């Protein structure tokens, strides 16, 4: 058995940003258009009139002020309301693979290694661009990495679940340097025409390198433990997939994009996440107060407020639980890793931190780290 460390992270920022103001303007134009086109049915009570959105509503509901996307014109077009991303020939790199390669190369540079030293690639994401060949295999080829790669999907917990696979592979000796990449094109599976969720998501990709401790000189993060948990729930769901054509259903139907029972999710999964972290720390002989910083899943400010208050009575957005969702929105599995990437450089040797994600499944993953 070998000791495993997180040696570096990388982050890809998409080329476009959408502010709340831009988003509200386009959404309200869509609402006005819809209500005008369906005025007779609305008057007869056959169709419900759509309600406009506002920046105040979005920020109060989520804490989100901005998001980055791969393409914005289609999203902001009231006649379309979803991204316009061109198809690529099979002999060209896919969009997700390009995002992942960019984040991975940044992580390699920060770790001081060559991509060819990677011998395991885990593409851990809420939605894959295609079923096969595995995105991980394409990313491996773009990087010139060795070994093996495979895809995995546990929705918003995919990155932490991927980190456990990487840590276990390095500890067991089946890999010496493992890469976890989480390319998230959430703009493609968000229903931008739904007032309750049109503001939630943003695109990005993160990368995490896990290596044998003996191979890493200088600062790194000792992995004290990982813990995963799942409990089936329908409260966050997306029914898009290859079986749709067999069902004679259309990709435009509402259930083919992200949907959730937000209040139920908050009530059920957030207490589970707090209890999960507390139990994980306790089994490692630690208490919540021993941890300097929590890098939590970045879906909703209220969720993070609940978790951190439950653990130590602090405020999300403080030094102990930094918030990045105001700028990035919910980036699915990448959110907690962005928080770690952006808010970890100031740690001193011996200080502890916890990465925790939670989301659809339900799924919860935690990684306890100590600065080396």
Residue 173 lies in a domain: no
**Predicted confidence (pLDDT) at residue 258 exceeds the cutoff of 90:** yes
Tell me: the pLDDT tens digits for 73-128?
999 999 999 999 999 999 999 999 999 999 999 999 999 999 999 999 999 999 99
Identify which of 336, 294, 338, 328 has the alpha carbon closest to the alpha carbon of residue 64: 328
Residue positions annotated with a catalytic role: 156
Residue 86 lies in a domain: no
**If you average pLDDT over every residue of the chain, what do you get?**
97
Tell me: the pLDDT tens digits for 279-323?
999 999 999 999 999 999 999 999 999 999 999 999 999 899 999
Length of the chain: 372
**Predicted confidence (pLDDT) at residue 262 exceeds the cutoff of 90:** no
Average pLDDT over residues 150-166: 98
Identify which of 279, 297, 301, 300 has the alpha carbon closest to the alpha carbon of residue 288: 279
Residue 351 lies in a domain: yes
The C-alpha atoms of residue 139 and residue 122 are separated, in whole angstroms, by 9
- Residue 307: domain span: 221-371
Residue 278 lies in a domain: yes
pLDDT more than 70, % of the chain: 100
Residue 118 near residue 143 (C-beta atoms within 8 A): yes
pLDDT more than 90, % of the chain: 97
Inter-CA distances, 351 with 269, 276, 319, 354, Å? 28, 21, 14, 11
pLDDT score, position 227: 98
The C-alpha atoms of residue 33 and residue 26 are separated, in whole angstroms, by 11
DSSP string covering 63-109: ---EEEES--TTTT-TTT-S-------TTS--HHHHHHHHHHHHHHH
CATH of the domain at 329: 3.40.47.10
Residue 228 lies in a domain: yes
The C-alpha atoms of residue 307 and residue 315 are separated, in whole angstroms, by 9
Model pTM? 0.96
Residue 41 lies in a domain: no
Residue 279 lies in a domain: yes
- pLDDT confidence tier of residue 28, bands split at 50, 70 and 90: very high
> Considering its fold, how many domains does the chain have in total?
1
Residue 287 lies in a domain: yes
Residue 110 near residue 9 (C-beta atoms within 8 A): yes
**Predicted confidence (pLDDT) at residue 218 exceeds the cutoff of 90:** no
């Amino acid at each position: 058995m070998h000791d495993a460390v997180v040696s570096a992270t990388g982050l890809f920022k998409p080329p476009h940003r959408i502010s709340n103001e831009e988003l509200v303007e386009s959404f309200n134009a869509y609402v006005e258009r819809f209500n005008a086109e369906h005025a007779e049915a609305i008057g007869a009570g056959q169709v419900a009139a759509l309600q406009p959105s506002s920046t105040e509503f979005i920020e109060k509901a989520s804490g989100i002020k901005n998001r980055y996307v791969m393409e914005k014109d289609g999203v902001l077009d009231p006649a379309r309301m979803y991204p316009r991303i061109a198809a690529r020939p099979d002999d060209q790199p896919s969009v997700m693979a390009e995002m992942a390669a960019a984040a991975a190369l940044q992580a390699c540079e920060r770790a001081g290694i060559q991509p060819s030293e990677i011998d395991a690639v885990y593409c851990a994401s809420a939605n894959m661009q295609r079923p096969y060949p595995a995105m991980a295999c394409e990313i491996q080829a773009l990087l010139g990495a060795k070994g093996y790669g495979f895809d995995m999907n546990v929705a918003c917990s995919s990155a932490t679940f991927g980190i456990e696979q990487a840590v276990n592979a390095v500890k067991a000796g089946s890999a010496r340097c493992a890469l976890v990449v989480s390319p998230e094109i959430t703009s493609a599976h968000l229903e931008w025409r739904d007032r309750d969720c049109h503001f939630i998501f943003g695109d990005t990709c993160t990368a995490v390198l896990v290596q044998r401790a003996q191979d890493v000189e200088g600062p790194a993060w000792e992995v004290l433990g990982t813990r995963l948990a799942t409990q089936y729930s329908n409260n966050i769901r997306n029914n898009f997939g290859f079986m749709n054509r067999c069902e004679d259903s259309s990709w435009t139907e509402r259930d083919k994009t992200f949907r959730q029972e937000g209040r139920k999710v908050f009530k059920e999964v957030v207490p589970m996440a707090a209890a999960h972290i507390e139990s994980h720390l306790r089994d490692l002989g630690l208490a919540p107060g021993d941890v300097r910083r929590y890098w939590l899943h970045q879906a909703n400010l209220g969720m993070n407020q609940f978790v951190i208050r439950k653990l130590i009575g602090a405020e999300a957005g403080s030094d102990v639980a930094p918030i990045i969702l105001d700028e990035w929105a919910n980036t699915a599995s990448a959110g907690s890793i962005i928080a770690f990437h952006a808010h970890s450089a100031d740690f001193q040797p011996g200080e502890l931190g916890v990465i925790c994600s939670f989301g659809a499944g339900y799924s919860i993953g935690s990684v306890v780290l100590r600065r080396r």
